Amino acid sequence: MNSIEIKNLKFGYEDGLILDNINLMVEKGDYIGIVGSNGSGKSTLIKLILGLLPVKTGSITRTETNVGYVPQVGLSVKGDFPATVLEVVMLNLYGSIGLFKRAKQKHYKMAEEALETVGMIEYKDRMIGKLSGGQQQRVMIAKSLVNNPDILILDEPIAGIDSESEKNLYQLLYRLNKDNGLTILMVTHSLSGVRKDMNKIYEIKDKGIKLIQAEKQSEEGSYDGDAVTI
Ligand SMILES: Nc1ncnc2c1ncn2[C@@H]1O[C@H](COP(=O)(O)OP(=O)(O)O)[C@@H](O)[C@H]1O
Ligand SMILES: [Mg+2]
């Protein structure tokens, strides 16, 4: 089953095209990496997929409506940001809690489960701004997971985190895809961000997108931990 199908998409902001004739299919259970240099249009493509920018030419069909999104920024939470880790995750539950209503036990439980999944439960009462970039990144992923999305979209999740956190992040994404069956689409400017355990790797270049690798290179059932060599 397809989660997202992009057909003959063209997009530009004011003048000229940023993306030209983009075709991309995301299938249920995919773990897709898209690599491209800075300014190549990766964030633009994600915003189009999310419906944050209007599609003018071509089409984007989204079968799954429950999309988790981890935006590019989000690592810059300042030390005095007045929210705990649990509160940050709960921000994404206000749709189901209801505005001005009090969170119920089940909502706390959902947020705690999401923090459990990313290995951050013991930090739930800490102030978000006091955590490292890598830890904040995991909390942002928990926040996007709290609504049980069918697909998780991450924009440059490794920007600004140390190499140990980067490794932990890849392991987490691998597990979410493999064990939880979560469809994942991640964009990165870094070649080290496209991994052997991804089943499709695309490159955005010269306004177009092309598949540069299909099928997993790593063995089924084991986390490989290596970047691909292209
Ligand atoms: N809101 C905007 N208005 C006009 N131009 C934009 C806007 N956002 C991005 N751009 C331009 O579109 C191009 C692609 O940007 P972006 O999608 O952010 O690239 P990437 O995420 O790959 O770094 C860049 O040239 C950027 O300057
Ligand atoms: Mg970007």
The better pLDDT of the pair 222, 112 is held by 112
Selection from 23, 18, 20, 26 nearest residue 6 by Cα: 23
pLDDT at 83 > cutoff 70 = yes
pLDDT band at 65 (very low <50, low <70, confident <90, very high): confident
Nearest CA to ligand 1 atom 1: 13
Distance from C-alpha of 197 to C-alpha of 174, rounded to nearest angstrom: 7
Q: What is the helix (H) or strand (E) element at residue 59, kind and residue range?
A: strand 57-62
HSE, side-chain direction, 13 A CA sphere, residue 141 = 28
HSE, side-chain direction, 13 A CA sphere, residue 221 = 0
pLDDT at 75 > cutoff 80 = no
pLDDT band at 158 (very low <50, low <70, confident <90, very high): confident
pLDDT band at 223 (very low <50, low <70, confident <90, very high): low
Residue 200, classed as helix, strand or coil, is strand
User: Measured from the CB, is residue 43 less than 6 Å from ligand 1?
Assistant: yes
Could you tell me the two tokens for 152? 């998780």
User: What confidence score (pLDDT) does residue 122 get?
Assistant: 98
Which residue has 């689409």 as its token pair?
A: 185
pLDDT at 74 > cutoff 70 = no
How remote is the C-alpha of 139 from its chain's centroid?
Answer: 13
User: Measured from the CB, is residue 193 less than 6 Å from ligand 1?
Assistant: no
User: Measured from the CB, is residue 38 less than 6 Å from ligand 1?
Assistant: yes
Could you tell me the two tokens for 29? 């259970």
Distance from C-alpha of 6 to C-alpha of 4, rounded to nearest angstrom: 7
Q: Residue 153: count other Cβ atoms within 10 Å of its Cβ.
A: 22
Atom nearest to 40 CA in ligand 1: 22
CA of 13 to the centre of ligand 1 (A): 8
Work out the average pLDDT over 171-188: 93
User: Measured from the CB, is residue 36 less than 6 Å from ligand 1?
Assistant: yes
Which residue has 């292209």 as its token pair?
A: 230
pTM comes to 0.90
Could you tell me the two tokens for 126? 């800490």
Work out the average pLDDT over 200-225: 79
Distance from C-alpha of 66 to C-alpha of 177, rounded to nearest angstrom: 16
pLDDT band at 71 (very low <50, low <70, confident <90, very high): confident
Phi, psi of 34 (to 5 degrees): -120, 120
Give 71's DSSP letter.
-
Q: What is the pLDDT of residues 129-142, one digit of tens each?
A: 999 888 998 999 99
User: What confidence score (pLDDT) does residue 99 get?
Assistant: 65
User: What confidence score (pLDDT) does residue 153 get?
Assistant: 96
Residues with CB under 5 A from ligand 2 (ion): 42-43
CB 22 within 8 A of CB 49: no
pLDDT band at 216 (very low <50, low <70, confident <90, very high): low
User: What confidence score (pLDDT) does residue 4 get?
Assistant: 95
CA of 72 to the centre of ligand 2 (A): 6
